[in-house]
């Protein structure tokens, strides 16, 4: 019998990605305050890539300690523009500022996955995507945000490339699943290797 797989996330989107791939998962909310974990990292100059890995590990380990007989998947994604790390906007004004700051520039999405078993991390993976946003007119940004509404607050960049957010870009480099926050192909390979899914 294959091992139970738990997703340390409340993201219905990540759960749907796994279920679409034929993987049965239980979703459990991690009890991790991301801002509390991140604050000392930013002051210490930790890279956006490592921030994503540290947060993914914190979530995986937290849930794994409460579900020691399952294989737990923790994920996190950071958005970086140079040395600046973006967080999910708190409100629509924050979303507007995000899009103004990203307009006409190329930013990175850093998508991390950590697997944990019995409270211990057993595998870490980071994939990156590079996205070039076209120069956006402030009026267009306002119209775009009123079209997408509160969904803009659910992602670090205030956009969803799987929806109307694709219109914001001139170029996207990287694996689709990495861009949307769960590098699925390396994860599936590791789950097969661990005997958690049929291989």
Q: Please give the positions annotated as active site.
A: 76
Residue 135, phi then psi, degrees to nearest 5: -70, 120
d(CA 8, CA 55): 11
């Amino acid at each position: 019998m294959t091992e139970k797989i738990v997703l340390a996330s409340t993201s219905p989107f990540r759960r749907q990605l796994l279920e679409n791939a034929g993987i049965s998962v239980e979703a459990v909310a991690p009890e991790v305050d991301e801002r509390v974990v991140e604050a000392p990292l930013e002051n210490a100059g930790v890279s956006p890539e490592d921030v994503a890995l540290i947060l993914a590990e914190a979530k995986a380990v937290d849930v794994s300690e409460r579900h020691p007989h399952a294989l737990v998947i923790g994920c996190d994604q950071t958005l970086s523009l140079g040395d600046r790390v973006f967080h999910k906007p708190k409100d629509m004004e924050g979303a507007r500022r995000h899009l103004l700051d990203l307009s006409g520039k190329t930013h990175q999405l850093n998508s991390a996955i950590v697997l944990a078993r019995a409270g211990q991390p057993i595998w870490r993976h980071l994939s990156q995507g590079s996205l070039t946003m076209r120069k956006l007119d402030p009026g267009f940004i306002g119209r775009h945000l009123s079209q997408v509404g509160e969904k803009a607050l659910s992602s670090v960049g205030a956009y969803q490339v799987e929806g109307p957010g694709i219109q914001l870009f001139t170029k996207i480099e990287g694996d689709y699943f990495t861009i949307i926050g769960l590098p699925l192909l390396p994860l599936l390979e590791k789950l097969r290797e661990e005997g958690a899914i049929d291989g």
